[in-house]
Amino acid sequence: MSLPPEFLELYGALPRQGPGNRASLDRAMQVIRPAKDAACLDAGCGVGADISGLLAHVPDGSVDGFEFYPEFAEWAARKNSDPRVRVRTGDMLELDATYDLIWSMGAVYIPGVNTALRRWKPHLGPGGKIAFSEIVWLTDTPPIEAQDFWASYPAMTHLGGIETICRDEGYRVLDRTVLPDDAWEAYYHPLEARIAECRKGTCSEALTAVMDEAEAEIALWRAHRRAFGYGLFVVKVA
């Protein structure tokens, strides 16, 4: 399945397709402490923004990238030509190998946190860990604008809610944190620059609509960034 051309035009040129940055990855790795030869999976890798960071922490290991959209997978493979990297198009839940670390930034909402944790469990090696980010409420009284925006994702909960899901699926939470503002800006700054570039030319109606939606999302986060954010969790089988 391919993305609509207007999405490819806007998001394909970005270094990443969601909030995250190298500093947040490095912090998680201080908790994970992977072996130098660890086998890693980047589940829902997009264009491969985190692959080089993962490789840096497993110098004798490997990173498999799974990405649903073939265009993103192709770009990820092109950007990460290291022989230790293998990028494939496919369902990130349909695995055929065992991993020491499964890393998934901003993608577990697609199948649901509980489904992802359940399906990945048989593919974790001894002592294996999962690190994932998930959008969460940071307050019990979010503003109406934020509630309206996230109404399409009724599964959205808070940090404690994610911890409960992890425990219910047989995992122990080793660490949880909230992605800092600079991890969001690492995504939004390039997105804003790309929108500005696109608007200089002739835009289709579909591309204009996608850009308008992206700008509304950015404005919402900047106005209400203390109401919601991405929780970054590191878990292992209990």
Query: Among 35-39, 88-92, 118-122, 201-205, which is the least confidently predicted range?
Result: 201-205
* Mean pLDDT across the chain: 96
For position 180, what pLDDT does the model report?
98
Q: What is the pLDDT of residues 81-111, one digit of tens each?
A: 999 999 999 999 999 999 999 999 999 999 9
Residues 6+ apart with CB under 8 A from 218: 188, 191, 192
21: nearest Cα among 188, 165, 167, 137: 188
Contact (CB, 8 A) for 84 and 72: no
Residues 6+ apart with CB under 8 A from 235: 117, 129, 130, 131, 132, 166, 171, 172, 173, 174
Mean pLDDT of 63-82: 94
115: nearest Cα among 61, 165, 78, 180: 165
* Helix 113-120, helix 159-168: angle, nearest 10: 30
pLDDT of 1 above 70: no
For position 62, what pLDDT does the model report?
98
What distance in Å separates the CA atoms of residue 154 and residue 26, rounded to the nearest whole number? 31
What distance in Å separates the CA atoms of residue 70 and residue 56, rounded to the nearest whole number? 25
pLDDT above 90: percentage of residues in the chain? 94
Question: How far is the CA of 6 from the CAs of 68, 197, 204, 210, 213, in angstroms?
Answer: 17, 14, 8, 7, 12
